[in-house]
């Protein structure tokens, strides 16, 4: 398959997941290019991914300084165009601090925060497998098309500030109703998380990923790129993915197959193919437009 859609993986100073994220995008049939945050000509990209890490060393507040960088104007323009924009972990923090998620007022106001994890009896960074499932809105979004309804996927949480919070009643209602939550934390059997460790940070409405209302921008705290191949799935993971990982031991072909996180990146490709069947090549500036009614 020849990749048709160029995706910019934004290399902000301090991120550390750009290469594995680019590999995961390419494995899903997308043309990933790692671009530095100072680059200007970004309008030719079919979508953006802001990867995980510690942009600007998390100074002031995770994602806060990066969100004020001029490059976010290009990302905001892509979001407005309907192009897919995915922020993973620190990238999610940047999108929230930039007001691109959830952006219910569509004026770029900061409508929520990613607060420090709230974990009974401890604080700080938490790193472990968690389980998430797409919501009904998530399935329709740019990031859920490759998922089955109620499918439970293991992914890795690795963050200190992953608790989605808001003081805006309209945003809280939209989160609780599932209108803007793309992925929720659940138990390994798909049941409601109901607290730690299934919800690893105390996030409102068990939100693992929050979207804009249009569903083309997603702030996702867990790392799908760390579960993009079956070989990356932990031996200890529950459910069908864990069973597949264990039974694939010693089988290189099986372990080189797609993992649960692959679905996020495949979903982006499916979304782009639905929007622009002929694809977009680098340099074809802003060729992706909304389909005419």
Partner 1 sequence: MIADLTLAVELKSADPVALTAAHALTHRLGFGKVLAELRRMDLWRLRVEAAGIPDALALAGSWITGSNRFVNPNKHVYELSARGGEGAGSAGRGSGRVAWVVATSEPDLDGEAAARLIRDRFGGRELVEARRAVAWMLRFAPAVNPAEVRRLAESMAVARSRTRGLLANPHFQPVAIVREPRSPEAAIEIWG
| Binding interface with partner 1 (CB under 8 A) | 56-57, 59-61, 64-65, 67-70, 72, 76, 97-99, 107-113, 115-116, 118, 122-123, 165-168
Which residue pairs, CB below 8 angstroms and at least 24 apart, start in 137-141? Answer: 137/178, 137/179, 137/180, 137/181, 137/182, 137/211, 137/215, 138/181, 138/182, 138/183, 138/209, 138/211, 138/215, 140/215, 141/182, 141/211, 141/215, 141/216, 141/218, 141/267, 141/271
15, 90 Cβ separation under 8 angstroms: yes
Provide the token pair at 74.
């290009």
What is the number of alpha carbons within 13 Å of residue 47 lying toward its C-beta? 32
Cis amide leading into 197 (omega within 30): yes
Which one, 82 or 102, has the nearer CB to partner 1? 102
Please, what is the minimum distance in Å from the beta carbon of residue 251 to partner 1?
A: 44
Provide the token pair at 106.
């569509």
Q: Which of 89, 111, 159, 262 is catalytic?
A: 89
Please, what is the minimum distance in Å from the beta carbon of residue 52 to partner 1?
A: 19
What is the Cα gyration radius of the chain?
A: 18
Which one, 57 or 240, has the nearer CB to partner 1? 57
Please, what is the minimum distance in Å from the beta carbon of residue 16 to partner 1?
A: 18
Please, what is the minimum distance in Å from the beta carbon of residue 97 to partner 1?
A: 7
Q: Which of 17, 97, 159, 223 is catalytic?
A: 223
Q: Is 223 noted as a catalytic residue in this protein? A: yes
**Is 145 in a helix, a strand, or coil?**
coil
Which one, 56 or 183, has the nearer CB to partner 1? 56
What is the number of alpha carbons within 13 Å of residue 60 lying toward its C-beta? 11
Q: Which of 17, 161, 225, 262 is catalytic?
A: 225
Please, what is the minimum distance in Å from the beta carbon of residue 69 to partner 1?
A: 7
**Alpha helix segments (H runs only) across 134-207:** 136-140, 169-177
Active site members: 89, 223, 225
């Amino acid at each position: 398959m020849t990749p048709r859609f160029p995706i910019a993986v934004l290399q902000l100073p301090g991120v550390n997941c750009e290469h594995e994220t680019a590999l995961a995008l390419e494995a899903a049939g997308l043309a990933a290019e790692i671009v530095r945050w100072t680059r200007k000509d970004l309008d030719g990209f079919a979508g953006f991914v802001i990867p995980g890490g510690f942009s600007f060393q998390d100074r002031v507040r995770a994602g806060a300084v990066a969100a004020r960088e001029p490059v976010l104007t290009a990302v905001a323009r892509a979001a407005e165009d309907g192009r897919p924009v995915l922020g993973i972990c620190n990238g999610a923090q940047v999108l929230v601090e930039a007001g691109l998620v959830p952006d219910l007022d569509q004026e770029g106001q900061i409508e929520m925060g990613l607060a420090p994890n709230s974990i009974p009896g401890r604080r700080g960074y938490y790193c472990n497998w968690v389980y998430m499932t797409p919501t009904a809105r998530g399935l329709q979004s740019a990031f859920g098309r490759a998922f089955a309804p109620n499918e439970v996927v293991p992914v890795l949480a690795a963050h200190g500030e992953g608790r989605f919070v808001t003081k805006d009643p309209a945003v809280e209602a939209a989160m609780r109703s599932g209108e803007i939550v793309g992925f929720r934390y659940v138990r390994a059997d798909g049941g409601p998380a109901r607290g730690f460790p299934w919800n690893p940070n105390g996030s409102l409405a068990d939100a693992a990923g929050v979207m804009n209302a249009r569903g083309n921008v997603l702030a996702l705290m867990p790392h799908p790129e760390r579960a993009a191949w079956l070989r990356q799935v932990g031996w200890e993971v529950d459910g069908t993915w864990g069973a597949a990982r264990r039974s694939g031991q010693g089988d290189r072909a099986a372990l080189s197959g797609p993992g649960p996180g692959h679905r996020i990146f495949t979903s982006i490709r499916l979304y782009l193919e639905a929007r622009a069947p002929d694809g977009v090549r680098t340099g074809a500036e802003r060729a992706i437009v909304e389909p005419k009614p």
